[in-house]
Amino acid sequence: MANLARLAAWRVCSVLPAEARYPAMTKRAYSKTTEGDGDMHPAPSHIMEPVIPPYEEKVGEPINMKRARLQYQSRKRGMLENGLLLSSFAHHYLAKMTEEQLSMYDRLINLPSNDWEIYYWATGVRPAPEEFSNEVMTMLQDFVKNSERENRTVQPNLY
């Protein structure tokens, strides 16, 4: 009986347009690449790219709150590689950083629109742009080399 119901549902759905059958898939955000004409499957004209608000540095933020925010943002990247890399870096260096270094690190992890850029700069695959070539980037690149051969396969504990 269940198979008969599935067959009936399949027949009904086969005559519906794709938007009706897969509404979540047709409403997804599409993005353009910087090279070429964009994706292999360009976005339909009725779908708009979501607007990401520009980064604004927090002025007058207490230093302990800034450290806590940067630690959180270092851990929650949405990309495993950077989550491991930046959370370990933050665990090791955030408490020792000056206010100026904290601002540099804040800009480093929040200004680039693509986390892969940060990863490539830190690992030396691509050179860092002039605005991010500073002492914090040097500290991060040295940290990535892992000369002490630490195990960094999990994020460090918060406490």
Q: What is the CATH number of the domain that holds 131?
A: 1.10.150.250
Q: Is residue 49 part of a domain?
A: no
Q: Is residue 99 part of a domain?
A: yes
Q: Is residue 9 part of a domain?
A: no
Task: Flag whether pLDDT at 156 surpasses 80.
Answer: yes
Task: Flag whether pLDDT at 11 surpasses 50.
Answer: yes
Task: Flag whether pLDDT at 62 surpasses 70.
Answer: yes
Token duo for residue 43: 């976005």
Task: Flag whether pLDDT at 26 surpasses 50.
Answer: no
Structural domain that includes position 93: 63-145
Q: Is residue 150 part of a domain?
A: no
Q: How many structural domains is the chain composed of?
A: 1
CB 101 within 8 A of CB 136: yes
Q: How many CB atoms lie within 10 A of CB 128?
A: 20
CB 131 within 8 A of CB 112: no
Residue-wise pLDDT tens digits, 69-102: 999 999 998 889 888 999 999 999 999 999 999 9
Q: Is residue 110 part of a domain?
A: yes
Distance CA 112, CA 110 (A): 6
Regarding pTM above 0.85, the answer is no
Look-up: residue for tokens 């830190």? 122
Q: How high is the pLDDT of residue 10?
A: 60
